Structure 1
Amino acid sequence: MSEEFLGNYGLLNQNGRMNMNAYLMADRNEVRVNVVTFEGTDKSVMSHRTEYGGQCLLSAMDEVLHYFQSSNVTRVNVTGTKRQEESLYDFPSFREAWVNACLHNDWNNALSPAVYVYDDRIEIVSYGGLPYALSLDGFYRGTSIPVNKSLMTIFIAAGEAEQSGHGVPTIVDRYGKEAFRFADGMLTVTLSFSFEPQQVTARKETLRRKDGLSQNEKAVYEILRGDGHLTLKEVAAKSGLSLSGVKNICKSLQEMNLLIRVGSRRDGYWEAK
């Protein structure tokens, strides 16, 4: 790339060296963009984390968009003769929130935006407050004052953004002003789910079944959850139960979908949910 090209897109500093924007656009970098899923409605139990960083910011951003577009399940509601589809969350709102998070994030602090998924909502978090001279009312109306004008130019050229100011109003129209929260130098955009995700319902049902287990069932379950490669004779020895009793309990746990046998009876193992 020519120096003129780099200069036109704001990828050079005053000394003619590559700047932070150039680093963000590099094919390889140390920018980490995380999507973290939690069990429940707070951060006490993390389910899994996926990292999309280490590459051009535009590529990482698009991968996150693709993930949430493909995972946005739809529920069909039938009332009389009417059939209505309802998405778990409004994807256009998510897209606006996520692109804005990547674009307007304060990258000088080396902190990346992130997405947190809970049982009942998605939170898109970015760093930095309102742009200078932009009021909260102006923000909600969609007044566009880019924090990083050079990065905005790159996003527009890549077809990822447009300085129309419709992003925030799109979210406000769907989720209200309360979707936005400015605190501790961060902006959090909360998109509440339209209904309870199937995996959340299934997990709650599993917990309900566990709570209903007898003392002996709980003992066998916990032993196999700790080591699924134990034989039933070893489970009987550890639990103090008879072998026939352990077999019956394992069968019952399988019927409750709390225990799965993976592989053959001889070479397989137990997987506790």
Structure 2
Amino acid sequence: MGNKLGDKFMDTYIEIIKDIVNHYSEEEWFEFKENWFEAHGIGEYISALSNAAALCRKDFAYLIWGINDEIHEVVGTQFDFRRDVKNEPLEHYLARQIVPDIAFSFHEVNFEGKRLVLLKIPKAKNTPTSFDGVRYMRIGSSKVNVNKYPDREANLFEILSDREKTIEHIESEYQELTFERLFTYYAGRGISLKSATFKKNLGLLTNDGKYNLMAQLLSDNSHIPIRVSIFRGETKASPLFSVKEFGNTCVLLSLDKVLEYADVINIIQADERERIVSRKDISLFDMSAFREAIINAFVHNKWTDGNAPMITVYSNRVEILSRGTLDSKQTIDGFYMGESIPVNQKLSDIFLQLHISERSGRGVPKITDIYGKDVFDFRENSIAVNIPFNWINNMGNNVGEKIGNKKSLNLRREKILEEIRNNPNITQVQLAQVIGVGVTTIENNIRFLKENGYIERVGSNKTGYWNVK
């Protein structure tokens, strides 16, 4: 199993090590050692890291010798994986006691002029990986016996039995997908996608080669609307002022559009209280906190239900709601400390690759540092962040008019908008049938909605769709 320096995959291992070393903190699917050697302990790590990879939705886990585990400094190692254990080669000793058999492998790597040893460990499949009859797992940086943590063990079995549905495993109901906007987005970030490999590299295919739900999310038409609703008052019982729609396209572009719209919502107010020389401009809310909340909502949203994050603007706050709850391995304390465990690992990896988010885990701590922990609301099937508005003058229930005054709509036009939101691909003939009027009436109302900025047509009349602004 051991490979020498000339291994044809050496460049790949070097890139893996670079990526892991750059992590802000040690995660459950990799471990650093310097010169440590204890044969039975290595076997326990193989079991624990293999199971951790499955829990963290990684294809492989890694145990790397030659890196300081506290400061991630590359120091080199004298560790010898070719030694014998009780007159038996170490690799054979380990493989004999690993059940089920997994193709773990040692690799010697020259990294920045220093010798490292990388142990590549495949994720557990079908059943948990055990060593010497015991199943191990990782909790934080600790290696523990799975039997002592029945809830986590149940979660592991759920993942391995494929009862857990993720955006990577669910087949998209739309298989005629295109990705021009994804390629353009990557190019704008200085990254060139290759047509022959991007589907595999980004994890857009199921095991049987079909487009998965993540492919749908990143496609030119995701078929999932993302809406920003604005109410005149402090609850949804208040009159609805407007609904802006940014979905039905590549989710990366939708995120950018929501962030751009936040600049419109985030009114700059002139504070002339206690003015001496110059006035002070005060924004309605902290944009950096809003950005972190939106990015977290997109990364951690339970897209498998077919629902997008929901953004709602009230007269006193903006609420960002993400579907789903904390990962089973996450704790409330860890959440507030920024110990992120992504619900959608592959999507999180893409956000990291594009520098939309970062590995430092600063998002939640940044929000709580500005607004406190009370802005988070953990509900049965969702997590909401309520960012309060800092009004200089009391706006009462006039927030709708302040944020975006448009011509009011009659009931027929409201009904047309509602039908378009529910089905962006609806035709004018279908609208006429649903609402019970002639096609000419629909055409006139559609023209009004387009001219006044309520909707726009994306693509051709035949194959395009409606975008509600």
TM-score, normalised relative to structure 1 = 0.70
1:192 aligns with 2:352: no
- Aligned partners of 1:33 and 1:52 also within 8 Å: yes
Runs of 4+ in 1 over 4 A off after TM superposition: 196-204
**Relative contact order (alpha carbons < 8 A, sep ≥ 6): 1 or 2 greater?**
1
Distance (whole Å) between structure 1 residues aligned to residue 334 and residue 303 of structure 2: 23
Q: 1:63 Cα deviation (Å)?
A: 0.4
Q: 1:74 Cα deviation (Å)?
A: 1.6
Q: Which residue of 2 aligns with 1:260?
A: none
Structure with more helix by fraction:
1
* 1:178 match: secondary structure: helix
Indicate how the Cα distance of structure 1 residues 26 and 5 shifts in structure 2: closer, same or farther if over 3 A, else same: same
Indicate how the Cα distance of structure 1 residues 196 and 42 shifts in structure 2: closer, same or farther if over 3 A, else same: farther
Q: Deviations over 1:118-154 (max 9, x none)?
A: 0100000110111121100110011111111110111
Q: Which residue of 2 aligns with 1:155?
A: 351
Distance (whole Å) between structure 2 residues aligned to residue 132 and residue 184 of structure 1: 14
* 2:222 match: secondary structure: coil
- Aligned partners of 1:120 and 1:196 also within 8 Å: no
- Which residue of the other structure, out of 236, 242, 247, is the alignment partner of 1:53? 247
- Which residue of the other structure, out of 122, 136, 150, is the alignment partner of 2:332? 136
Q: Which residue of 2 aligns with 1:22?
A: 215
Q: Deviations over 1:101-124 (max 9, x none)?
A: 111101111111011000100000
TM-score, normalised relative to structure 2 = 0.42
Distance (whole Å) between structure 1 residues aligned to residue 364 and residue 200 of structure 2: 30
* 1:181 match: secondary structure: strand
Distance (whole Å) between structure 2 residues aligned to residue 167 and residue 65 of structure 1: 15
| Matched residue count | 207
Q: Which residue of 1 aligns with 2:323?
A: 127
Q: What is the identity, as a one-letter code, of the residue corresponding to 2:368? A: V
Q: 1:201 Cα deviation (Å)?
A: 6.5
Distance (whole Å) between structure 2 residues aligned to residue 93 and residue 203 of structure 1: 21
* 1:172 match: secondary structure: helix
- Which residue of the other structure, out of 198, 204, 225, is the alignment partner of 1:5? 198
Indicate how the Cα distance of structure 1 residues 198 and 157 shifts in structure 2: closer, same or farther if over 3 A, else same: farther
Alignment of 1:142-181 (within 5 A): 142-181=338-377
* 2:197 match: secondary structure: helix
Across the aligned residues of Structure 1 and Structure 2, the Cα RMSD in angstroms comes to: 2.4
Q: What is the identity, as a one-letter code, of the residue corresponding to 2:347? A: L
Indicate how the Cα distance of structure 1 residues 141 and 155 shifts in structure 2: closer, same or farther if over 3 A, else same: same
- Aligned partners of 2:266 and 2:284 also within 8 Å: yes
Indicate how the Cα distance of structure 1 residues 22 and 191 shifts in structure 2: closer, same or farther if over 3 A, else same: same
- Which residue of the other structure, out of 228, 233, 238, is the alignment partner of 1:35? 228
| Greater Rg by CA | 2
Which blocks of at least 5 consecutive residues in structure 2 are unaligned? 1-193, 401-409, 411-469
Q: Deviations over 1:70-127 (max 9, x none)?
A: 3311223242346433210011111110111111101111111011000100000110
Q: What is the identity, as a one-letter code, of the residue corresponding to 1:190? A: N
Indicate the larger mover: 151-160 or 167-176: 151-160
Indicate how the Cα distance of structure 1 residues 128 and 71 shifts in structure 2: closer, same or farther if over 3 A, else same: same
1:64 aligns with 2:258: yes
Q: 1:4 Cα deviation (Å)?
A: 3.1
Which blocks of at least 5 consecutive residues in structure 1 are unaligned? 205-224, 226-273
- Which residue of the other structure, out of 166, 183, 194, is the alignment partner of 2:379? 183
Distance (whole Å) between structure 2 residues aligned to residue 47 and residue 76 of structure 1: 25
